[in-house]
């Protein structure tokens, strides 16, 4: 389990998006909302969508998650 955070302000690296980071990520911004403890970044990104409509997983600490976001949300709606 790891702590995850979402950027309060919109990201510079992903314009218009609120980026999600794991606690240990060197790119975690100074102003964040604590999302909770999650087993994987997919769940953290899903939680972040409850705060902001435009979220994106950090490409450094959440490798692979950003690609699967739409897929994950579709799965969550189906279940």
Residues making contact with Zn ion (CB under 5 A): 21, 25, 27, 58, 60-61
Q: How far is the CB of 52 from Zn ion (least distance, A)?
A: 16
Q: How far is the CB of 39 from Zn ion (least distance, A)?
A: 17
SS (H, E, C) 29-60: CCCEEEEEEECCHHHHHHHHCCCCCCEEECCC
Name the residue with the smallest CB distance to Zn ion: 58
Residues near 67 by beta carbon (within 8 Å), at least 6 away in sequence: none
Residue with Cβ nearer Zn ion (60 or 72): 60
């Amino acid at each position: 389990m790891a702590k995850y955070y979402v950027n309060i302000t919109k990201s510079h690296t992903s314009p218009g998006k609120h980026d999600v980071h794991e606690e240990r990520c060197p790119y975690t911004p100074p102003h964040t909302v604590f999302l909770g403890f999650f087993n994987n970044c997919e769940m953290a990104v899903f939680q972040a969508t409850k705060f902001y409509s435009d979220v994106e997983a950090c490409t450094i600490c959440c490798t692979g998650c950003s690609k699967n976001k739409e897929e994950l949300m579709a799965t969550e709606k189906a279940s």
